C-alpha cells in the first residue's frame, strides 16, 4: 500500500466531490479494505464525512466527501491578507484603481500563458499547457473531452477569498481563457466555486 494513500484520497475527494471506497480503491490501485481503513482514519481525524445513499435496487452505497477541515488542507493562498488589501485599495483609491490592478494582472497572466502555448496548434495541445500551468499555480486543473465538447476543470481555487471579494478576478480569467483558446471555439463557465460549486468547469465547443 502506498505510504501517501491518505493524501491521495483527500486529493481524489477534492477533485470528485465525493466517492465510494470502491472507486477510491480502483483509482489508487489498493484494496477496498485498504481504502476503507484510510477513510476511517481520515473520518476519525475529522477530515472526511460519510453519507449513505440509496441507489434503487440493492444495498445503499456509502459516499465519502471532505469536511470543512478536510477542505482547509487545500488552502486559499494568503486569504485574509489578500482580502484586507483589496478592501483597502477600494476604500483608499476607489473601484477604478482595483479595476486597473486586475487588468494589469490579467495582461501579465495572458502574456505568460501565451508564451508557454507557442507552438501549440490543436485544442488538445493548448489544454495540455493550460491545465499543467494552472495546476502548478494551485488550481488542480485537468481537462477531458465528452462527445463534441472539451471541459477544462479546476478542482481548487487558491485565490477564492480574493475572487469572492472581487469577482473581477474571475471575469479576467474567463476573458484570458477565451483569448488563449481562440475564436474558433466558444467557452463558457458551467460550474463555479464561488456559487457553491465543488469546482470551476469551463465547457469549450467548436463555434457554429
Q: Residue 166, CB half-sphere, CA atoms under 13 Å: how many?
A: 26
Question: Is a pLDDT exceeding 80 seen at residue 3?
Answer: no
Question: Is a pLDDT exceeding 50 seen at residue 1?
Answer: no
Architecture of domain 79-206 in this structure:
2-Layer Sandwich (3.30)
Cell output for 139: 488550481
The CATH 1.10.10.10 portion of the chain extends over 5-71
Residues near 189 by beta carbon (within 8 Å), at least 6 away in sequence: 174, 200, 201, 202, 203
Task: Give the residue carrying C-alpha cell 486543473.
Answer: 141
Q: Identify the burial level of 50 via C-beta atoms within 10 angstroms of its C-beta, where 0-12 means exposed, 13-18 middle and 19 or more buried.
A: middle
The CATH 3.30.1380 portion of the chain extends over 79-206
How many other CB atoms sit within 10 Å of the CB of residue 42? Answer: 21
Where do the DSSP E strands lie in 44-130? 48-53, 61-66
Residues near 96 by beta carbon (within 8 Å), at least 6 away in sequence: none
Q: Rounded CA gap, 41 and 47, in Å?
A: 9
Nearest to 194, CA basis, from 148, 162, 150, 149: 162
Q: Are strands 141-146 and 61-66 parallel, antiparallel or unpaired?
A: unpaired
State the fold for domain 5-71. Answer: Arc Repressor Mutant, subunit A (1.10.10)
30 contacts 1 by C-beta, under 8 angstroms:
yes
Q: Rounded CA gap, 136 and 166, in Å?
A: 23
Say what the pLDDT of residue 72 is: 75
Q: What is the pLDDT of residues 14-67, one digit of tens each?
A: 878 888 999 899 888 888 899 999 999 999 999 999 988 877 677 788 989 888
Q: What is the pLDDT of residues 136-177, one digit of tens each?
A: 888 999 999 999 999 999 998 888 877 777 788 899 999 999
Q: What is the pLDDT of residues 67-107, one digit of tens each?
A: 878 877 776 666 666 777 778 888 888 888 888 888 998 99
The DSSP secondary-structure symbol of 198 reads S
Say what the pLDDT of residue 177 is: 96
The DSSP secondary-structure symbol of 199 reads S
Q: What's the first-to-final CA gap in the chain, in angstroms?
A: 49
Amino acid at each position: 500500500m502506498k505510504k501517501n494513500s491518505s493524501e491521495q484520497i483527500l486529493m481524489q475527494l477534492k477533485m470528485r466531490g465525493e466517492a465510494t471506497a470502491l472507486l477510491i480503491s480502483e483509482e489508487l490501485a489498493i484494496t477496498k479494505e485498504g481504502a476503507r481503513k484510510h477513510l476511517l482514519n481520515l473520518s476519525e481525524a475529522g477530515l472526511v464525512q460519510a453519507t449513505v445513499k440509496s441507489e434503487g435496487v440493492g444495498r445503499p452505497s456509502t459516499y465519502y466527501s471532505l469536511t470543512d477541515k478536510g477542505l482547509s488542507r487545500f488552502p486559499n493562498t494568503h486569504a485574509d491578507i489578500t482580502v484586507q488589501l483589496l478592501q483597502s485599495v477600494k476604500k483608499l483609491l476607489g473601484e477604478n484603481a482595483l479595476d486597473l490592478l486586475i487588468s494589469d494582472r490579467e495582461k501579465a497572466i495572458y502574456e505568460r500563458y501565451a508564451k508557454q502555448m507557442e507552438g501549440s496548434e490543436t485544442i488538445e495541445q493548448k489544454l495540455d499547457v493550460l491545465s499543467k500551468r494552472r495546476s502548478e499555480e494551485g488550481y488542480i486543473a485537468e481537462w477531458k473531452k465528452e462527445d463534441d465538447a472539451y471541459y477544462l476543470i479546476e478542482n481548487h481555487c487558491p485565490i477564492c477569498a480574493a475572487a469572492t471579494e472581487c469577482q473581477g478576478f474571475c471575469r479576467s480569467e474567463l476573458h484570458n481563457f477565451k483569448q488563449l483558446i481562440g475564436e474558433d471555439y466558444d467557452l463558457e463557465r458551467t460550474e463555479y466555486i464561488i456559487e457553491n460549486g465543488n469546482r470551476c468547469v469551463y465547457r469549450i465547443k467548436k463555434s457554429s
